[in-house]
Chains A and B, each alone.
Chain A
């Protein structure tokens, strides 16, 4: 019975070969590209992969998408298998520091590996991701504009996590360029419960310390959770009509919902997941075309989300 099913399988494989041979006639040298991720089930990753495949289809590549379902060691194993198959390029969406063994195998075989929002690594040709610096610049300049370049700003930062630390540096520089903007406080919330509850508690203390209307002009947060916590604190204190401007970063669904209401939480920044996927495919195409990429990180533009476009 097993033998029969295997025979059927083999017959299917023959048919597949015949079909593949037919399509090869059209594109004599279809590039083989493997996309390997442990996180295919996550919505962001699906956007990357779909956009990548759309570009790959135009280019006529054979794309093999491999999901190891959370198994990071499995990513190393599958990179080894793809190296063995001598694919033309490999794309990963996982922390490169955890799959060094696989990256080394690819390098030894001269197969280029690309990061799709993976993190920087010397063994990657390039990593395509959103520009955290630009995201922080978007929201901090939004704040400076809304408060007319004048007033007290509360910042929520998190220096222990490098991507968020970079955002804080940029926002501080932007506010520092306005002589009449004063950083009232730089708060690092406890994130062990998600960050909203402790941010709310910290904001309540700041509100109590600055009771007069207009003493706080804005709250700039390095990501959405502290912005949501600050909003709750302001609403609970009944100070939502003082015109305090709140901004976050990431534009998660909860943040979008608040921004769409048109309240104090006015803006956040959304990453362009599809853009990251197609930009990765473009980078692969350039390298397959013989180009040497100068950039080890390729940044994909992000989008400011306000009440005008929060529902999109």
Chain B
């Protein structure tokens, strides 16, 4: 397996004028649907799938893949500009990205997201090209105990997401877990918290909570704020990162890329976990960690690199094993099968031009997205100079469309409105919504894997400690917990001593 000759084959496939055009169409479409809340890559790919039958398989797959990561890019734009994460993986970007926008640094934040994503995409592509086959087997090693312990690390890490009070963050995580439980319990088939609404039988859509808690809550809060009346930002400020910004974004991009590349391999919540973990890591190791939550560039660069790297390496289990890690990947797989391409280890030897063409086109797609998005920064940022009286109704309208289009039911729009008030209350009580979202996304995975682990072990709890990977994660979680509480213990001890003295 000569990686260079393979990449050369890939380049010769991907660089054809026709395939470049497909990648461009896909990237543009992806960016657009990423910017519109609710209309995610899943819906878009499934709607476009029938139209791609006319194309040749390589071109069609290149286009579908471009839509997929174009959407990852676009999702962060709304997160930064209007406090609305379009995808689960851009929830974290909201925290510092929106603060940057309010400080007039929206352009810098969007550019940072684009640059970080590009850098991560390059690394992700190389990882995919070089290690697809050996890394694929990592996915099998993760069973119930391993996933459970990984989720524990994620939830413990979520406490550090919040810059405010720890008890409030813990409370928000629990509310999130409870919201995640709404609907049918997969193990027993029992209905939980559905209050006899059939619409709640399959749980709550992520976008409904995101639209409510983030976007609606923000709009209500802004209306109640007498100090801001005209536009959301007073001055636009610089559009592109300066030398200092570049210097500060490099380390988080490297760290975020590493974390994202690893977590992307795990089927399930790769991009989400990647961005959460990257943010948690910045909180621990960054030189500027005291500024996180207040508009630090690290808070955008790290998570954005992580989710894009994960989006890239998520192709590993799909391509190498034929087992998709997400519904979107399942659709990509369906597309491959439709073109008579049988995914699995043999795809690399049997259809090398398709495999390597796709790998290379991912890299080209990332480059295109960078070229496409940087000039658009000025345009996106101009949206912020629209007066509130026009911008707010527009945001509300698009959010309602987003909440509706997830399942085509007006119930979800009302539910989102309800969450809007909840989001406003959270803001008033100074409870941050990001830990809630993490609880909502990871809670169901935590429960499912916990119960599966115990079914397989026939009720033996020691399985979480006897499985080495699982034990490693639990140790890490314990260390994180101790590290998080140490300053508090020391502080209270100091207070005690001060009083005594």
Q: Do A and B interact with each other, yes or no?
A: no
Using CB atoms and an 8 Å cutoff, list the residues of chain A in contact with chain B.
none
